């Protein structure tokens, strides 16, 4: 599994690449990790599971550490710089694999960054897992207008499902919703169900 150090806006960024078991990958999938100040990194188990399932669906998966996390240089910038980091990874991926479809995903804080990044990167598919809209209520962008799967745990005590569902109702059109009964924020014991939810969402959209 190749590890790259690419140039980002605040220094080098640590990027991990995984290729699917096929000669012609269907897409490049970039996954954004949870909040850097709360232990979020590219090794988060939800991020790792998303990378695995995207690989099963035929995509090259790209996990990366935001600035100040792991081997990535710089320091936390309250979402602004982290969006710039995502855009830098997106530009690098488009040069490395020109002409491939782009899938974009994120968990928690990473979901918030992915939603913003979708407006600039125009992916063919967006997957957000428990996007942290409650942390940044004044800066959540509108609907990117693309295929969008929103996965939410019903018993999430970090990003409350009620707030996510209320926010979703303001979007036109609304993203496809997968609400997992009994699931908490970190999907403990539910990662296989999360995997199947992504697969089902892919089959429904493609």
Q: Determine the length of the chain.
A: 206
Q: Domain limits at 87?
A: 3-205
pLDDT at 205 over 90: no
Arithmetic mean of pLDDT, 101-113: 97
Arithmetic mean of pLDDT, 99-114: 97
The CATH number covering residue 162 comes to: 3.40.50.1820
How many helices (H) and strands (E) are present in the chain, helices listed first?
5, 8
pLDDT at 141 over 80: no
- Residue 31, pLDDT score: 98
- Residue 72, pLDDT score: 98
Our count of domains for the chain comes to 1
Q: Which pLDDT band, with edges at 50, 70 and 90, does 203 fall under?
A: confident
- Residue 142, pLDDT score: 65
pLDDT at 138 over 80: no
pLDDT at 145 over 90: no
- Residue 24, pLDDT score: 85
| 94 three-class SS | helix
- Residue 40, pLDDT score: 97
Residue 136 contacts residue 158 (beta carbons within 8 Å): no
CA separation, residue 81 to residues 13, 77, 185 (Å) = 12, 5, 25
Of 65-69, 141-145, 159-163, where does mean pLDDT reach its minimum? 141-145
Q: Which pLDDT band, with edges at 50, 70 and 90, does 143 fall under?
A: low
């Amino acid at each position: 599994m190749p590890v790259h150090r690419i140039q980002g806006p605040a220094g080098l960024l640590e990027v991990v690449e995984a290729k699917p078991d096929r000669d012609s990958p269907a897409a490049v999938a970039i996954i954004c990790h949870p909040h850097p100040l709360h232990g979020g990194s590219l090794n988060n188990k939800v991020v790792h599971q998303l990378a695995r399932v995207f690989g099963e669906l035929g995509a090259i998966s790209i996990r990366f550490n935001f600035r100040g996390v792991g081997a990535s240089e710089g320091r936390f910038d309250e979402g602004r710089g982290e969006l710039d980091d995502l855009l830098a990874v997106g530009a690098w991926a488009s040069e490395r694999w020109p002409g491939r479809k782009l899938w974009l995903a994120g968990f928690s804080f990473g979901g918030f960054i992915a939603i913003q990044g979708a407006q600039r990167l125009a992916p063919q598919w967006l997957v957000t897992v428990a996007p942290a809209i409650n942390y940044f209520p004044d800066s959540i962008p509108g609907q990117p207008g693309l295929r969008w799967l929103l996965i939410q745990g019903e018993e999430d005590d970090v990003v409350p499902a009620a707030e996510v569902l209320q926010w979703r109702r303001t979007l036109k059109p609304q993203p496809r919703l997968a609400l997992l009964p009994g699931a908490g924020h970190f999907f403990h014991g539910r990662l296989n169900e999360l995997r199947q939810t992504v697969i089902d969402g892919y089959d429904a959209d493609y």
